[in-house]
Amino acid sequence: MLRRSFSLGGQPSRMCMCRPTTTPEHIPFGWNQLNGICLLQGTKLVGFNPGILDQIASWSDAYGIRRGARVLDIGTSELYCAEEPDSLNHFLAKFGAEQYSRDELLKMANGGFAADLLRRAGFAYQAVDIADLPDTLRLDLNRHRLPLWHRRRYSLVLNCGTTEHVVNQYNAFRVIHDATAVGGVMYHGVPMGDWEHGLIAYTPRFFEALSDANGYERLKMWGWAGDEKPFPWATVEFSQPFTFRAAWLHVLLRRRTRAPFQPPLDHIGQ
């Protein structure tokens, strides 16, 4: 099932989003409450699992992300909660929204669009994506600015495993900055050491520098790491055997000023 496309600077490249056919204990990594993103390497499945729903619910209390808030999804997300379908109704109950019937619940939990869940919970949902999908503003993160009427409008901007597929990091993070209202929250769930996923890997230092350059408040930073395994490219010669752990970084930032986006600079000697 086609769910998301990414442009690498030329013609759009297409990524096939497939539903899982295995149980969580057989998935190599990524399906867990802490990670917050369901990612199955090999089938390129990306979306929300119960963990990210729990996180958003907790941000409601901690950071004022409540019913009626505008939410921008960087990449149109699906729901991958088939092993815990009741997590959708628990999320809706948190916001006092009407819950799904059993039939609706089973259908939504297995690849339904996150837009339906978030809107049912009372949020004003919008996504940006290069693909033509429901509730989606078509936008290439490599090339396009966010339209003026979408700037500083969103209380919550979600980057759930999207920007690592984009070469133009300056523009991708400028879009996120431009979209976020003053006082709004930005969530980044991105690979830190997952050499088999995406084009870009991030570090805590990157987000610290990004925050310093733009006056963001760093609210929270956490991570997830998988099992150690061999480096996947035999064509790369190392001085000694090299293994790695797939690791994902999760960062929560708050925009505090109306200032335009500033790219971070890594000063020599820092």
Domain assignment present for 151: yes
CATH code of 60's domain = 3.40.50.150
Domain assignment present for 266: no
| pLDDT at res. 232 | 78
Domain assignment present for 126: yes
Domain assignment present for 163: yes
Domain assignment present for 270: no
| pLDDT at res. 35 | 39
Domain assignment present for 248: yes
When mean pLDDT is compared over 47-51, 63-67, 185-189, the highest value belongs to 185-189
Range of the domain at 128: 2-254
pLDDT exceeding 70 applies to what percent of the chain? 82
pLDDT exceeding 90 applies to what percent of the chain? 64
Domain count, the chain: 1
| pLDDT tens by residue, 138-149 | 999 999 999 999
Domain assignment present for 83: yes
Checking if the pLDDT of 3 tops 80, the result is no
HEC-encoded secondary structure of the chain: CEEEEEECCCCEEEEECCCCCCCHHHCCCCCCCCCCEEEECCCCEEEECHHHHHHHHHHHHHHCCCCCCEEEEECCCEEECCCCCHHHHHHHHHCCCCCCCHHHHHHHHEEEEHHHHHHHCCCEEEEEECCCCCCEEECCCCCCCCCHHHCCCEEEEEEECCHHHCCCHHHHHHHHHHHEEEEEEEEEEEECCCCCCCCCCCCHHHHHHHHHHHCCEEEEEEEEEEEEEECCCCCCCCCCCCEEEEEEEEEEEECCCCCCCCCCCCCCCC
Select the more confidently predicted residue: 166 or 18.
166
Domain assignment present for 226: yes
| pLDDT tens by residue, 45-63 | 458 989 999 999 999 989 9
